[in-house]
Amino acid sequence: MLTVPVRQLGESERRAVERLLDLDPFAGAQVAERVAARGLAWWRAEGRILGYGPRRHLESICWLGGNLTPVLASEPAVAAFADQLSTEERLCSSIVGRADAVLGLWGRLSAYWGPARDVRPNQPLLATDALPTVAADPEVRRVRSGEIDRLFPAAVAMYTEEVGISPLADDGGRGYRRRVADLVRSGRAYAQFVDGKVIFKAELAVVTRRTAQVQGVWVAPEWRGRGIATAAMAAVVRDALMRVAPTVSLYVNDFNLPARRVYERCGFRPVGTLATVLF
């Protein structure tokens, strides 16, 4: 029997949650962004935060919303979270976080929530706080509001290629288009255009006071192999560090060797390993 039960956290424990998130600013960035924006009240946050540990010493947390994300989850915490979640219907589309915690959760939840569409057990988590030493491509810039229609097909292509399903499947892409538009309007979407078409794109999908997390990096298929990605990413990193956050972070599939070489040239260094379970 578990001696420390899992409990749902509320706004009164926000400071304790923020202290934990500060201890893992890169792997916990998505959760930190949501907490900063909407707090811990579930009706505002569009998700719940479960806590593990005595009330005066919170040890681990687990965000449960569109994604399931454990943060600083020890083995006892993983066991406790899994015990709680196994009694609930799966509503999340993925489990993502530090590899040991994610794979530990999935090992315990697969009998209840399986099967998974894909399990990616080794995703290097990278970060940098230094301006790239390689030259930045001056043609890479923030996307303007009037260019959303040009960016959206590239965003759909990236998502479909990376995730394995189309973001147009559920609602015709309305929700995904709103997300893309929000990133553009907040100055967090970058692209390079040639003859009006996107040949490179990336977004600062998550922004906290500690880091800007890059996602959605994509090069048009006909432009791959021409060496444009390093200078393009250097432009994104440079702008993010100078304008948005003190560090830039991202995670990448271990088998994507070309992308890993690009990130290394741009100054990224390993800060951990994530894993993702996709449903």
Task: Tell me how far CA of residue 109 lies from CA of 39, 90, 101, 152, 259, in angstroms.
Answer: 27, 10, 12, 35, 31
Residues 247 and 158 in one domain: yes
Residues 145 and 242 in one domain: yes
Strands of 60-64's sheet in order across: 7-8, 48-52, 60-64, 67-71, 94-98, 269-278, 118-128, 248-251, 212-219, 197-207, 189-194, 141-142
Long-range contacts from 14-19, C-beta under 8 angstroms, 24+ separation? 14/39, 14/40, 16/51, 16/58, 17/49, 17/51, 17/58, 17/61, 19/58
Residues 246 and 190 in one domain: yes
Cis bond before residue 115 (omega within 30° of 0): yes
Residues 158 and 81 in one domain: no
The pLDDT value recorded for residue 79 is 96
Residues 109 and 161 in one domain: no
The answer to whether residue 1 scores a pLDDT higher than 70 is: no
What's the rounded Cα separation, in Å, for the pair 235 and 243? 12
Helix (H, G, I), strand (E, B) or coil at 258: helix
Among the candidates 48, 80, 115, a domain finishes at 115
Mean of per-residue pLDDT scores for the chain: 94
Q: What tens digit of pLDDT does each residue of 53-72 get? A: 987 889 999 999 999 999 99
Residues 216 and 110 in one domain: no
- Structural domain of residue 69, as residue ranges? 7-115
* Strands annotated E in 25-83: 48-52, 60-64, 67-71
Angle at 76 between CA 75 and CA 81, to 5 degrees: 100
What's the rounded Cα separation, in Å, for the pair 237 and 240? 5
Residues 167 and 96 in one domain: no
The CATH number of the domain holding residue 262 is 3.40.630.30
In a domain, 48, yes or no: yes
Residues 100 and 152 in one domain: no
In a domain, 163, yes or no: yes
Residues 181 and 264 in one domain: yes
In a domain, 134, yes or no: no
| Tokens of residue 223, six digits | 């432009």
In a domain, 120, yes or no: no
Q: What is the mean pLDDT of residues 128-143?
A: 98
Owner of token pair 């260019």: 147
Residues 105 and 161 in one domain: no
Q: What tens digit of pLDDT does each residue of 89-109 get? A: 999 999 999 999 999 999 999
Residues 111 and 145 in one domain: no
In a domain, 132, yes or no: no
The answer to whether residue 78 scores a pLDDT higher than 50 is: yes
The answer to whether residue 2 scores a pLDDT higher than 60 is: no
Owner of token pair 């994530």: 274
The answer to whether residue 157 scores a pLDDT higher than 80 is: yes
Q: Which residue has the higher pLDDT, 240 or 43?
A: 240
> Quick one: pLDDT band at residue 268, thresholds 50, 70, 90?
very high
Q: What is the mean pLDDT of residues 218-227?
A: 95
> Quick one: pLDDT band at residue 3, thresholds 50, 70, 90?
low
Q: What is the mean pLDDT of residues 122-127?
A: 98
In a domain, 245, yes or no: yes
Q: What tens digit of pLDDT does each residue of 38-56 get? A: 998 766 667 899 999 987 8
> What is the pTM assigned to this prediction?
0.93
In a domain, 208, yes or no: yes
Among the candidates 82, 115, 148, a domain finishes at 115
Residues 155 and 232 in one domain: yes
The tally of domains found in the chain comes to 2
In a domain, 126, yes or no: no
